[in-house]
Structure 1
Amino acid sequence: MERSDAVSVHTEEAMVLGRGMRLLAGAMTVACVVLVGPSAPSSALFGRSLPADAVRDVVANRVMTWNLCNPCDESNVDRAAEIATYAPQVIGLQEACARDVRRIRSFLERLYGLVYHVEYGTVLRNWGRCGGAPWSPGAFGQAILSAAPMTDRVNVEYPDGGSEDRGYMAVTTMVGGRPVRVFNTHLAQRRQEAVRADQTGVLAAELARHDRAIVLGDFNAVPDAPELAPIWALATDTDAQCHPSPASSCEPTTDWNSKFDYVFLRGIVPLKHRVQPTPYSDHHLLYTDLDPTQNP
């Protein structure tokens, strides 16, 4: 074989090998995308390390509410890690895309061993909020995750959502070993007080039907706002220092130092609560531990 022919053969072999390596790398990339989802960073394969004081299993008497912030370009791996740190029995999410909730739930199980059921309270389909094809936008609204099965789901859209469709959802599930009705809602945006008043009237009418209930959500209103009066008449805040009075002491739950997020309790006694700021939303995590053995 002439030297030029040998060089040509070696060059062709190198090109074939190079193409093979690129195809292999491409296949592995596709496999990773299928495994962790396109919105997750490469670190999703390993998850995010939890703090040393994080709980390691679901806390049976703990409930949490969290507005995810949307549209916000946040990783569902990070969102799952925030939830896994506190591992509540029940989580109410607002401003939630169904696709993101599915991924959060998957990461909670695969990365942290926390298994949740999920129910959705979709109120609209919105491409700007949740992506998808322009002719088939993603589902947007509320969701509830529970370590125990959920039954009797209802999904109600308020007659007037204000500047954007809003609603509430409710399920029956177990918290602290006892059945309880759990509501999750997101009221109309700020500066729409009259709309929110109508919405709380709708929610309160359903809440009044239950002796034991938990209401989670972003109410877009401070505690002494008049539109929250129907809820205060039926339930108490998990924070014993928080009342519908300007003089009460209510811990802020947002980056702008307002309390908009609530865990309202009806027929249930709280043990302790925590407001935890997070870099992954403009709303803080709010969770509470309940005493299922006592009646108010």
Structure 2
Amino acid sequence: MLLGVGARLLAGAMIVVCMVLVGPSAPGGALGGSLPGVAVKDTVPNRVMTWNLCNPCEESNVDRAAEIAKYAPQVIGLQEACEPDVARIREYLENLHGLVYHVEYGTVLRKWGRCGGAPWSPGAYGQAILSAAPMTDRVNVEYPDGGSEDRGYMAVTTRVGGKLVRVFNTHLAERRQEQVRVEQARVLAGVVARHDRAIVLGDFNAVPDAPELAPMWELATDVDPQCHPSPVGTCEPTTEWQSKFDYIFLRGITPLRHRVLASPYSDHLMLQSDLDQV
């Protein structure tokens, strides 16, 4: 009888030792914090990115977060973004990849068909900005005419490469609504013009030589040196249908290099740029 009790005590002690060595089995652990074994990594301090997420699309937020984590931008602007999706992407970036971001939303509508939710409380849809540095002075503006769907822009002040800069994120009206985009681009350019240093991220739904983008070209340049209003050069497409719709416009800031990055998780490619003299 005493031998049996001793054996049970020994087995219990071994279990405790194993739990200490291995750690909790639940995701994130009973003690909280990041997932076991996840190394904290840094964002690239002068890197910015824009990405239209595709909506409605049946894509995993785990996969979206993994795509962003590959390049670890300091700031990323997301379009066609549902607030719950962005919140999960942010959580996965931290818990699975060790990347900690602040987030601000630029909701333009609440629509069950875009973001789900309860029929009486549909999900919030629009833009979002994730930044490794804190953000201040957020504004969120709907364009007077969104076209077939409400559209708008948001702006924040944050640090990129250690220096303060005004960052905008927008999504202009759909492809065949040129006249609507004319007014939207005019409104956006009028606000951007107030800042000597600005980064404008977004899906403009227009090719570089489209007339409606003229107000933006007067103020800023795209990170792709081949992209400008004159239809010359080889401008890299940013969509599956081989059109350049996505831009990182810079005002008072010089690009160092850029990349257009294919992703299986959206009909838009990711546009990324490292900035010089930020």
Q: Report TM bin, short chain.
A: 0.7 to 0.9
Residue matched to 1:160: 145
Cα distance, 1:46 vs structure 2: 9.2
Residue matched to 1:204: 189
| Counterpart selection for 2:174 from 157, 172, 189 | 189
RMSD, aligned α-carbons: 1.8
Cα distance, 1:57 vs structure 2: 2.1
Q: Distance in 2 between matches of 1:247 and 1:112?
A: 40
Matched, 1:172 2:157: yes
Matched, 1:138 2:119: no
How many residues align? The count is 246
Letter in 1 for 2:107: T
Matched, 1:264 2:242: no
TM-score of the pair, normalised by structure 1: 0.81
Q: Distance in 1 between matches of 2:168 and 2:49?
A: 12
Cα distance, 1:241 vs structure 2: 1.5
Residue matched to 2:83: 98
Letter in 1 for 2:262: P
Residue matched to 1:126: 111
Residues 61 and 292 in structure 1, CA contact (< 8 A), matched pair in contact too: no
The share of aligned pairs that are identical, in percent, is 79
Q: Distance in 2 between matches of 1:220 and 1:255?
A: 13
Question: What do residues 221-250 of structure 1 show as CA deviations (whole Å, max 9, x unaligned)?
Answer: 000000000000000000111111222321
Residues 243 and 249 in structure 1, CA contact (< 8 A), matched pair in contact too: no
Structure 1: gaps spanning 5 or more residues: 1-30, 36-44, 50-54
- Runs (4 or more) in structure 1 with deviation over 4 Å come to none
Letter in 1 for 2:69: A
Structure 2: gaps spanning 5 or more residues: 1-25
Q: Distance in 1 between matches of 2:233 and 2:251?
A: 20
Matched, 1:224 2:192: no
- Aligned with 2:219: secondary structure? coil
Q: Distance in 2 between matches of 1:164 and 1:46?
A: 43
